[in-house]
Amino acid sequence: MQNRRLVMIPGPTPVVESIQHQMGRPTDAFKTPEFVSDFKSVIADLKTLWDCENGEAFVLAGSGTLSMEMAVCNTLKSGDRALVISHGYFGDRFVDIMERKGIETDLIQSEWGQIVPVETIAAKLEENDYQAITVTHVDTSTGVSAPIAEIGELLKTKPEVMYIVDGVCATAAEPEYVEQMGIDILLTGSQKAFGVPPGLAIIWASAAAMERRESLGTIPEYYADFLKWLPVMHDPTKYFATPAVNLIWALQESLRIIKSEGIEERYQRHIRNAAYVQERMKQLGFSLLANPEYQAVTLSNLLYPEGIDDAKFRSTLMEEGAVVAGGLGPYAGKLFRLGHMGNIDDHDIAAVIACIERTLEKLAQ
């Protein structure tokens, strides 16, 4: 008999039954009073839970990569200059997005597993006039969590610099507070710590970010333009493009789960789960790529012990009932990435650890 497959990659994450139910509902017309009310509640909850009451929240069909592009095109124009702080593969992606738009970029890259020190960022900000800075909160290629609160404090002295935080692998698992931390754009997708299937781009924009968007006038982007979506976010009876009805219901259920648990308790649960998983993996002979001081709570990037073949390990693990992700960039074949975020529970964690133990036993035979 084939084992059930537990998906423990850094996203998409396991989808609990109550969210699956929302995906399986008969799709409704998007202008019915019931759906309009549901959509309004989603926007209101996003603004409240992520401390963006004075700004805007956007939810639209798309991916985390669309969120990245929206963050750039609504705050920057050709000829502007941005500072990109990269802790891995996904931090580097901002450079490609910006260069295609004619934005000058200065890139500071950390050694994989480390962070760019805040002092280094502060010094760089004094060298040029920047219109924006981007930081990936958690880069899934390295498992590093950036000190976004410290960077936000630094940037409070430079209100002209838009602070863009990529929260794709952090939002709903690691603390993020838009106004308190001085974030101008927080972006994410639905498929990671929210525990919703892939398909939604989610963006928060501060009041200052919306002012920046207004100052740009007409931008080349159409679907990604904040000002095209803003009337819909204020009043979902308005039309710009068809909303992802079932995904919005699924996000509404995810937000209900978050509120029921309590978002601060949710953050603490992720800390506890990560500490437990990481300690158990060390006991099994794996080591962590990320500096412990900046280790993310949403995933672990686990370096193989001597003699373990990556492809054989992951294929055997899949046979045992768990799917994990391979390493990226210079660590391809040298580690695997284990996600432990979202709505997983103690049973999921125990099951994936048991799968890993069985895999190691088989490989040792």
Residue 1 clears pLDDT 80, i.e. is over it: no
Q: Which residues contact 279 (CB under 8 A, 6 or more apart)?
A: none
Confidence (pLDDT) at 66 = 98
Radius of gyration of the chain (CA): 21
Q: Do the Cβ atoms of 221 and 229 come closer than 8 Å?
A: no
d(CA 166, CA 189): 10
Confidence (pLDDT) at 38 = 98
pTM for the predicted model, two decimal places: 0.97
Confidence (pLDDT) at 35 = 98
pLDDT band at 292 (very low <50, low <70, confident <90, very high): very high
Whole-Å CA distances, 35 to 18, 22, 41, 236: 18, 12, 10, 9
Q: Which residues contact 359 (CB under 8 A, 6 or more apart)?
A: 313, 316, 317, 320
Q: What is the mean pLDDT of the chain?
A: 97
Residue 4 clears pLDDT 90, i.e. is over it: no
For residues 14-18, average pLDDT: 98
Confidence (pLDDT) at 44 = 98
